[in-house]
Chain A
Amino acid sequence: MTTGSPPSPRTTAIWIACIVALGLVPLTGTYVTGLAAEILIFAIFAMSLDLLIGYTGLMSFGHAAFFGVSTYTMVILGVHLGWSGWIGFAAGVAMSTIAAFVIGFFAIRVSGIPFLMITMAFAQLLMSISVKWRSVTGGTDGLSGFQRPTLFGLSLENRVTQYYVVLVGFLLVLFFLRRLIASPLGSIFIGIKENEQRMLAAGYPVQRFKLIAFTLAGALAGIGGGLYGLHNAFVSSDILHWSLSGDAIIMVILGGAGTIIGPIFGSAAFLLLKNVVSSHTHYWLLWVGTIFILCVMFLPQGLWGFLRQRFGRRPPP
């Protein structure tokens, strides 16, 4: 954990190159731009989950709840009350944060498998509400007719505008997490993952920090969910399905848990596989599953961990 030393010119150059490349994506056409936006949205989602799995050691299996609550809040406020998507976005993130605080309050009382089950149970509870409360949520058919807002006179109906909004959100979350992980607060999360008993003996109220991590992760997932609402202008109960929580876990582990960059790679790998393979075969999940198993067996540190070992000389950014 050597953190905080000023980045080398080489590292800075790579960062700038990556950001410029991301900025140029819309030149490649609508299809790729849409896919890239989706990758960045799920990267936010996976990064937020990695704060729990990779940094605090909390294996949450209900993270879709906080993604979905935000999307639902935004789309429901827009469709039923005609609220602007921007206010809906803020309200969505706020709702996700509150939901994470409440669910976290109960879940952190246990750890390990019981923790996993409780987080999943709460997410399933929210999903059944979304399925049953048809008049508000549209149930399994979903809720369409959301009007995307405008930004400086540019409509978010436009794929390119959408993409840039998503990119800005992604970069903000990315740099926030980098700061957080290197900070005193972040070091406490890492300490809890490493050795909870020792953190207690040192005098840290561990439960309080688990709840902070859980709430923060929920808020960040809510940002992802809000951007997803702006991107899709549609929401259905699928967004709260447990399989989405599972996808996020796969992205985190595939890319490299306990790293900031890993989940981005995980999201990209997962969605590219989904898009490329599913155009050839219905059984695309079979391939995702196979690759996931091979990754866990042969690249236990994930894609990013492997790349870093292979090419990197420096500690992770």
Chain B
Amino acid sequence: MSDTSANLLRLDNLYKSFGSLVVTKDVNLTVDRGERHALIGPNGAGKTSLVHQISGQLRPTSGRIFFCGEDITGASPDEIGQRGIGRTFQKNNLFRQLSMRENVRLALQAKRGNWYSFLRPASADRALLDEVDAILTQVRLADGRDRLVANLSYGEQRQLEVALALASQPRLLLLDEPTSGMSPAETERMIDLVQSLPAELGVLLIEHDMKVVFTLAHTITVLYYGEVLATGKPDAIRDNPRVREVYLGLGH
């Protein structure tokens, strides 16, 4: 099963339509171990729909999704999470009435098991809490870890999104617009954070900010009306006339 030459993620002719609206049209795409792959395209290009299909929220109409060489097409979101695909959401999607620590602890516990323990307090698991703190440090959330999420700043919530995805100890991380709505300083911090992620982790990144894309990405795929317009190294994408025409714009 563990064919080391296989791609971490491979999409084979993925196709998804809602009635006559086609949001994903024959998409082929691969992400390898350690690759930072950016997915760009204008609004409505089908980027988030693609992430939803990979993470199991949406079922593709046809085509296959392979993760570590195994077919995961149509698997449920929790099964896909257990297999090692972690994701963040475009809009912050956290446990708002729980503390920062408890948010990460829940995500970590999903991987660690001990789910059915019902008489010992969850807080008695010191080792787990130490790991929680290590993850929060990793995403640069240092202070006030017992604050409720509802009381965090927007940027902090964005960072916590990444913490939750990392807590599920993924081999592939799907980042859906991690810097959307962030200030330039917060964006810098997010770039720094993604660069500091483990080298063997594969990352599929949806992003509108071209500075972020060209700083981080090894490979860029451009989606346009659900279709792959181009895939390649950042320089090739930058110089691609079609891409410049439909997306990057000549003024950029």
Which label, helix, strand, loop or mixed, suits the secondary structure of the A interface?
A: helix
Task: Count A-B contacts at CB 8 Å.
Answer: 110
Q: Which residues of A contact B116 (CB under 8 A)?
A: 184-185
Flag if B78 contacts A198 (CB, 8 Å).
no
A182 to chain B, nearest CB (A): 4
B224 to chain A, nearest CB (A): 27
A183 proximal to B (CB < 8 A): yes
B99 proximal to A (CB < 8 A): yes
Binds B, one of A77-85, A111-119, A187-195, A288-296: A187-195
Q: Which residues of B contact A203 (CB under 8 A)?
A: 78-79, 81-82, 110-111, 168
Q: Which residues of A contact B122 (CB under 8 A)?
A: 3-4, 182-184, 186-187
A153 proximal to B (CB < 8 A): no
User: Given A179-B118, A201-B87, A203-B111, are A5 and B98 neighbors across the interface (CB < 8 Å)?
Assistant: no
Q: Which residues of A contact B164 (CB under 8 A)?
A: 198, 202
Q: Which residues of B contact A16 (CB under 8 A)?
A: none
Flag if B146 contacts A2 (CB, 8 Å).
yes
Flag if A200 contacts B121 (CB, 8 Å).
no
Q: Which residues of A contact B123 (CB under 8 A)?
A: 2-5, 182
Smallest Cβ-Cβ distance to A194: which chain B residue: B95
Q: Which residues of A contact B120 (CB under 8 A)?
A: 183-184
Q: How far is the CA of A206 from the CA of B78 in the complex (A)?
A: 8
Chain A interface extent, by class: 20 to 34
Q: Which residues of A contact B86 (CB under 8 A)?
A: 201
- Pick from B79, B105, B111, B118: contact of A185, CB below 8 A: B118
Q: Which residues of A contact B115 (CB under 8 A)?
A: 184-185, 188, 204, 209
Q: How far is the CA of A179 from the CA of B107 in the complex (A)?
A: 21
Q: Which residues of B contact A184 (CB under 8 A)?
A: 109, 114-118, 120, 122, 125
Flag if A202 contacts B107 (CB, 8 Å).
yes
B63 proximal to A (CB < 8 A): no
A113 to chain B, nearest CB (A): 23
Q: How far is the CA of A197 from the CA of B89 in the complex (A)?
A: 10
B61 proximal to A (CB < 8 A): no
B55 proximal to A (CB < 8 A): yes
Q: How far is the CA of A201 from the CA of B81 in the complex (A)?
A: 6
Flag if A183 contacts B117 (CB, 8 Å).
yes
Q: How far is the CA of A187 from the CA of B109 in the complex (A)?
A: 10
Q: How far is the CA of A206 from the CA of B110 in the complex (A)?
A: 11
B32 proximal to A (CB < 8 A): no
- Cross-chain pairs A/B with CB under 8 angstroms, 24 sampled: A1-B102, A3-B123, A4-B121, A180-B119, A182-B123, A183-B119, A183-B120, A187-B109, A187-B122, A191-B98, A194-B97, A194-B98, A195-B96, A198-B89, A198-B164, A199-B78, A199-B106, A199-B110, A201-B55, A202-B164, A202-B167, A203-B79, A204-B81, A209-B115
Interface, chain A (partner B; CB < 8 A): 1-5, 179-180, 182-188, 190-191, 194-195, 197-206, 209
